[in-house]
Amino acid sequence: MNATYDVIVVGARIAGATLAWELSRIGLRTLLLDRADFPSDTLSTHNVYANTLSKFREMGVLDELLATGTPLYNRAHVNFEGAVIDGRFPPVDGIDGCLCVKRKYIDDILFRHARSQPDVTAITGFRATGLLRDADGTVTGVTGVSREGQVQSFSAGLVVGADGRRSSVREWAGAERRLSVPTDYASYVAYVDGYDQGGERFVEFYKQGDKLAIAFPTSDSQYVIGFMFPLTDAARIARLRDEPESGLRALAEEGLSATALPARLRSASFAGRVRALLGYDNDWHQGMGRGWALIGDAFSFKDPAVGQGMHDAVFGAGLLAKTLSGYRPEDWRRAWEEMSARYEEGMRDKLMSRFEIGCQMTRNAPMPQELLAAYRLIGKDEQATRVFLGMYNYASEPGDIDREVGRLLAGIQAPGA
Ligand SMILES: Cc1cc2nc3c(=O)[nH]c(=O)nc-3n(C[C@H](O)[C@H](O)[C@H](O)COP(=O)(O)OP(=O)(O)OC[C@H]3O[C@@H](n4cnc5c(N)ncnc54)[C@H](O)[C@@H]3O)c2cc1C
């Protein structure tokens, strides 16, 4: 046994590094572990909205994120089946923008920031291989292997799985899977140079039939483009395996022909490798048990089309730290049920509405005509557009959009009223 901590965090990207920072603020001795080294990449389109940027400002990393040269932008162009909503995101905490920093930069910045905090010890190149438990089954630590092949164990009052979508900590802890909706879509991510939007940079969201695409302005003057089409399209998946670049161009030309994407791609060049995610579940797990907890994708993975995973990782880290701060570490053993009820309720209250939207978007089903009619109405009204886009950065809630649509409908029924 090497050392004892209050908390061990397995996984040191956005969820784990943010949690280590939060735990340092409340004076908990924390061991932050990752099998990876930083800087390093991971699959994502990595866009965050103003609400998450506000948190990054509080953490003291926003300036370093902006110093990567990644452009802040605040306009969105949405085209769902020809219903166009084009406008500006509402500000949150005085921040008027969105940022899409490549993971090789953002995870490294967050990791270095966490590692520099008091009471945080960080080890990379260490793969956790199992949990330690005491006689009554409570988790008491982690065992694993260093890059040099040395087996080491560390003990703590709490082990947190921040180890991603296919979390091992979750599996070892035996966390219950509370909800699971498999996706109908295959997802592909590509970086491009020379994607010309004709001036101002903005995000594009497209849905045409059974194809979806998102384009975000990102670091290194590039755009990151996410493409989605049905998993049942085996011929397209085979083509993309053999000819990723021409396959994605063909997908845009054939499947997203009514949008601006194919023309913009024609003048752009692909940079680096196209990456795929062939199938995933939108899932929601038990968040805490005796001696363990889960945050980030380990707790809940949601369809990338809603672009909320990184926000949820940051929010979950804050909520878990807040939950723990209500108890002294020596009291945790008698308070698991109470703490886990608080933590899970907080996660549900904040995140479930977007998780449910993700579960709808993950199904390959036509958008209802009433919904498209509502989007057309919203697209014609600046206030309604801001409220709609505020869903992405939590400036508004689904009920606010319903009220906006009600207002617009009332205006149609009683013109001039
Ligand atoms: C195609 C795609 C597009 C996306 N686009 C967006 C987007 O635009 N915006 C957004 O907000 N979200 C997006 N997401 C979701 C977002 O990427 C995730 O929510 C986010 O990465 C979760 O962060 P995390 O820290 O929980 O996990 P991860 O980023 O997966 O990090 C987990 C870490 O745990 C480490 N680890 C795993 N197992 C072990 C072990 N046994 N021992 C030690 N270390 C271990 C790994 O090395 C890794 O570094 C997207 C996801 C995908 C797949």
pLDDT at 308: 97
User: What CATH number was assigned to the domain covering residues 4-42+102-180+281-361?
Assistant: 3.50.50.60
* Pocket-testing residue among 10, 13, 394, ligand 1, by greatest number of atoms within 8 A of Cβ: 13
CA distance 244 to 273: 8
DSSP assignment letter at 263: H
For position 416, what pLDDT does the model report? 59
pLDDT of residue 413: 79
Q: Which long-range contacts (CB under 8 A, 24 or more apart) does 383-386 make?
A: 384/408, 385/85, 385/86, 385/87, 385/88, 386/87, 386/88, 386/89, 386/90
pLDDT-based confidence at residue 322 (cuts at 50, 70, 90): very high
Domain ranges of the chain: 4-42+102-180+281-361, 184-278, 369-416
pLDDT range class, residue 415, cuts 50, 70, 90? low
pLDDT at 83 over 80: yes
* CA–CA dist 10, 241 (Å, integer): 32
**What's the rounded Cα separation, in Å, for the pair 297 and 305?**
15
| Ligand 1 centroid distance, CA of 249 (Å) | 27
Q: Does residue 417 register a pLDDT over 60?
A: no
pLDDT value of residue 414:
76
Q: Residue 262 forms beta bridges with which residues?
A: none
Residue 255, φ and ψ in degrees, nearest 5: -95, -20
Q: What residue's CA is closest to ligand 1, atom 30?
A: 164
Ligand 1 pocket test: pick from 98, 163, 227, 319 the residue with the most ligand atoms within 8 Å of its Cβ. 163
CB-defined site of ligand 1, < 6 Å? 10-11, 13-16, 33-36, 42-48, 127-128, 162-164, 168, 187, 189, 226, 277, 296-298, 304, 307-311, 313
Q: What is the per-residue pLDDT across 258-295, written as a single tens digit (0 to 9) for each?
A: 999 999 999 999 999 999 999 999 999 999 999 999 99
Q: What fold characterizes domain 184-278?
A: D-Amino Acid Oxidase; Chain A, domain 2 (3.30.9)
| The predicted structure's pLDDT at residue 244 | 98
DSSP string for 41-71: --S----B-HHHHHHHHHHT-HHHHHTTTPP
- What's the CA-to-centroid distance between 12 and ligand 1, angstroms? 10
* Residue-level length of the chain: 417
The pTM (predicted TM-score) of the whole model is: 0.97
In 210-321, DSSP assigns E strands to 211-217, 223-230, 269-278, 281-285, 288-289, 292-294, 300-301
Tens digits of residue pLDDT in 232-262: 999 999 999 999 999 999 999 999 999 999 9
Question: Ligand 1: distance of its center to the CA of 227 in Å?
Answer: 18
Alpha-carbon span 97 to 105, nearest angstrom: 19
Q: Is the pLDDT confidence value at 2 over 70?
A: no
Q: Mean per-residue pLDDT for 177-189? A: 98
Query: 11 CA distance to ligand 1 centroid (A)?
Result: 9
Rounded to the nearest whole angstrom, what is the distance from the C-alpha of residue 217 to the centroid of ligand 1?
A: 20
Concatenating the DSSP letter of every residue in 124-156 gives ESEEEEEEEE-TTS-EEEEEEEETTS-EEEEEE
Which residue among 37, 43, 46, 172 is best mutated to probe the pocket of ligand 1, counting the most ligand atoms within 8 A of its Cβ?
A: 46
pLDDT band at 185 (very low <50, low <70, confident <90, very high): very high
Residue 173 C-beta-side C-alpha neighbours within 13 Å: 32
Q: Which residue CA neighbors atom 5 of ligand 1 most closely?
A: 45
pLDDT of residue 412: 86
115-174, pLDDT tens digit by residue?
Answer: 999 999 999 999 999 999 999 999 999 999 999 999 999 999 999 999 999 999 999 999
